[in-house]
Structure 1
């Protein structure tokens, strides 16, 4: 009975991940609290890092890819003059250097990261090689060659700088490693650097201000679950963001009940619209999001990724 009710929970849950655990560990804790609900997170945070970890629940997992590709915003504190094996304070110190640069050199170094840049991901990262995360190889002393990639830094602001401590505010594209930015900054300043604090405050338009912690969720369950599962799920649902927010930038098209019946059965339908060819949101006359369709140049709409509304 519990599992059937849990299966009817769908949406995006914004978790404020604590430090000291991986994103996957945080996800497993959430799934356990929610009685093994179908869920997946959208973009890993380092164990050291805290902050916004959007978790797609139920049918929302079908659209998690669109959040994985979104921009992110971070606040990072770094220590200059020390390089570590993991590029953060969790690793071993491998080199200590004197910190000696002027204000102009610092400003020019920061500006060099703006825009499209080439970045090499850390050896200690969740990127997989032959199905195994790179950090597992690195822990065994096996360092797999990592390919550099293009990422984009939309903004990079200095919030604080004193002695060998700096604090930055960074907005960047998906796939950007803040540890690599700090490490590369240390190289430019010829002193080395590593991350000592990292917090993600934004993913796409989702903000940390709307998130809750694991402890808060545990308290919610302890308080309301003993009354009834319905009471707990009603309270939890208030923290869920609708699925359609994940794809709100796609144009929408209203379909009739008959048209949608064709589409959900895998059939294409001819529609009358001025929308350009591409992916569109399918909406019914009750303003309910039904999924995504693919519109071709002949105004034929085909199913692309649909929600299961038979639940």
Structure 2
């Protein structure tokens, strides 16, 4: 079975679950998982893990992301975007300088309250399910990091921005909070995710494109191999002895004496490494401490 990661371009109208369901049909594989939800109206990068790569889902969900967003000032909705019920409309009296300052005030480590219309669970129930029942519950602020915000265009009442942020950041909440600072309200008009870790929108494929590629027998051409997701890590090989290979295949911790690495002069405690069998098959990601490599996640086919 093929294992790897496909950079899907999620089109508007699809939920992340819809994308996975359709891919299961296209690839004829059940073991598929996505790496973090995108709102149905949002578009852009959705890395999808196939086969053994599903073990990567939580690792990729933790990665930083880049979005492009159009904010609509002067309107407030219950969903924090324009799909929701309008709660108020206000004139926008703030100057461009005040708008820029309000947006930039959110750069850095901030505490953010998730929107009621989100997939977060409280007491086992998703927030959006409670919201649809007309219930609003207290949501605790959560720490997120906004690494940068670039203002692309101001054409009031619309403002276009690019946001580089940590996992768990809600762009709808950011829009709402900017509206609170300016006192006129703000809702998200549109959202495109342009990057998740190493996955860029320029390389993303729509589901229709993927279906055509699979029918042509070219799936390998668009599927990133599992080990490529860890390209920043140094590469280590198990020595070609029967005992060393047997221990590695069974997930047993590997002593430093049972590996070799051509380009590494010494191993660092607390560092993570990619380890391979002598025949170049990727075993998994290991952490190194006290002359011992301990398996974190195995991906061996």
CA distance in 1, matches of 2:118, 2:227: 31
Specify the SS of the correspondent of 1:64.
helix
Structure 2 regions of 5+ residues with no counterpart?
A: 258-264
Tell me the CA shift for residue 172 of structure 1. Answer: 0.6
After superposition, what is the alpha-carbon deviation per residue over 1:12-41, rounded to whole angstroms, capped at 9, x for unaligned?
001000111211121111112212431110
Equivalence for 2:153: 160
1:304 to 2:296 alignment: yes
Deviations 1:177-222 (A, max 9, x none): 000111111111111011111000000121011111012223345x
Q: Distance in 1 between matches of 2:156 and 2:255?
A: 66
Aligned length: 291
Match of 2:246 in 1: 261
Q: CA deviation at 1:113?
A: 1.0
**Which residue, 108, 115, 131 being the options, matches 1:122?**
115
Paired with 1:129 and 1:250, the residues of 2 have a C-alpha distance of: 36
Match of 1:235 in 2: 218
DSSP 3-state at the match of 2:106: coil
Question: Given the alignment of the two structures, is residue 38 of structure 1 paired with residue 23 of structure 2, yes or no?
Answer: no
DSSP-derived class of the 1:291 partner:
strand
C-alpha RMSD over aligned residues:
1.7
Q: Contact 1:64–1:246 at 8 Å: present in 2 too?
A: no
In structure 1, the residue corresponding to 2:209 is in which secondary structure? helix
Q: Deviations over 1:143-174 (max 9, x none)?
A: 23211111111110111111211111111111
Summarize deviations over 1:39-81 as a string: whole Å, max 9, x none: 1100110111000000011111112222111110011012110
Match of 2:136 in 1: 143
Q: Distance in 1 between matches of 2:280 and 2:72?
A: 51
1:191 aligns with 2:184: yes
Q: Which runs of 5+ in 1 are unaligned?
A: 1-7, 225-231
Q: The residue matched to 2:68 in structure 1 has which SS?
A: strand
Q: Are the equivalent residues in 1 in contact too, given 2:281–2:300 (CA < 8 A)?
A: no
CA contact (8 A) 1:66 1:246 kept: no
Give the TM-score normalised by the residue count of structure 2.
0.91
